[in-house]
Every structure is written in structure tokens, then in C-alpha cells.
Amino acid sequence: MAACRVTCLSGCDRDPGAPPQAVDLAIAAQLWNTPEKQWSQVELQQLLEGERLYRKGCAGCHLSSGEGQLTLGAPALRNSAVAKGPAGELARTVLLGRGSMPALRSALQDAGLAAILSCVRNAWGNQQGGLISRADVAAAPAAGN
């Protein structure tokens, strides 16, 4: 099962910001492909980037397993209706914050957030089978506010 996991896909000495190598994509395909959805290489790159950014910006509260942390009030993103729901509402939750979750609009670029949300939407069995685009993210705050 694909997951926003803390893994080192092709060697821990590699610059984590470097573009994914062929071997990463082969492993990513094994992790992310399902019988219903075979991701293209471009899509896999976006999922890998999302996984990297999720670990950096979200896992501190929601954990890399997506289970969340009750002590912080951070809900599970695994099987979350918001994570699996409309792209606009999901993007707004992160851009504008909600309750004790901080607004992350200034911390993330649209493309990065699109990658993170694509990962969240398809990890841990959420498996929505589609990606969130940069345009979805760019449209989100205007659509809701």
C-alpha cells in the first residue's frame, strides 16, 4: 500500500531535494500503483514530491502514518472525509488553517501544496486515484471566501 512513509528510496546520502531517479520511480510505482490506477511517471514524480514535502511540513502534527495525534488535536488524515473530499475544501483547510491548525498559505507554494494534497489523497488507503493540480489550489481560497 502506498503511504506518505518515512523511507529513503534510493540512498540516504542523496540530496533530498534532487529530482527523483529512475530507481525511485520504479519503487514508487510499486508503492502507489493499485489494480484500479497505474500512475504515469509524471504523476509518480508529483506523488514523490508530495511525500517529501508532507514529511517536512505536515508529519510533525499528522504523523507520517497519517494517523494524526490526539494530544495535538490533529486528526487522522487517513480515511478523513476532508482529505478524500472536494479538492477546494481540502486546499482551503491547509491554506487558511482551521481551529488550532495554522494557516500554511505563506509557507507553501501552490505547486508544492498540490503535490502534498495529491499524496494525502492517495496515501494510507485514501486512494482517490487522481491528483490535485496547481490550478485547483490557486482557485481554492477565492472559491471559499
Contact positions toward ligand HEC, by CB under 6 A? 57-58, 60-62, 72-75, 77, 80-83, 90, 93-94, 98-102, 104, 116, 120
Q: Which is nearer to ligand HEC, 82 or 139 (CB)?
A: 82
Q: Which is nearer to ligand HEC, 29 or 57 (CB)?
A: 57
Q: Least distance to ligand HEC from the beta carbon of 7, Å?
A: 18
Q: Least distance to ligand HEC from the beta carbon of 36, Å?
A: 23
Q: Least distance to ligand HEC from the beta carbon of 89, Å?
A: 9
Q: Give residue 18's identity as a one-letter amino acid code.
A: A
User: Max alpha carbon distance in the chain (Å)?
Assistant: 44
Q: Which is nearer to ligand HEC, 60 or 129 (CB)?
A: 60
* Cα 76 → chain centroid: 13
Q: Which is nearer to ligand HEC, 23 or 135 (CB)?
A: 135
Residue with grid cell 475544501, as numbered in its chain = 89
Residue pair 123/7 in contact (Cβ under 8 Å)? The answer is no
Q: Least distance to ligand HEC from the beta carbon of 92, Å?
A: 10
Alpha-carbon distances, residue 106 vs 85, 110, 114 (angstroms): 23, 10, 14
Q: Least distance to ligand HEC from the beta carbon of 52, Å?
A: 12
Q: Which is nearer to ligand HEC, 104 or 138 (CB)?
A: 104
Residue pair 124/65 in contact (Cβ under 8 Å)? The answer is yes
C-alpha cell at 112: 508544492
Alpha-carbon distances, residue 139 vs 30, 66, 92, 133, 134 (angstroms): 32, 26, 9, 10, 9
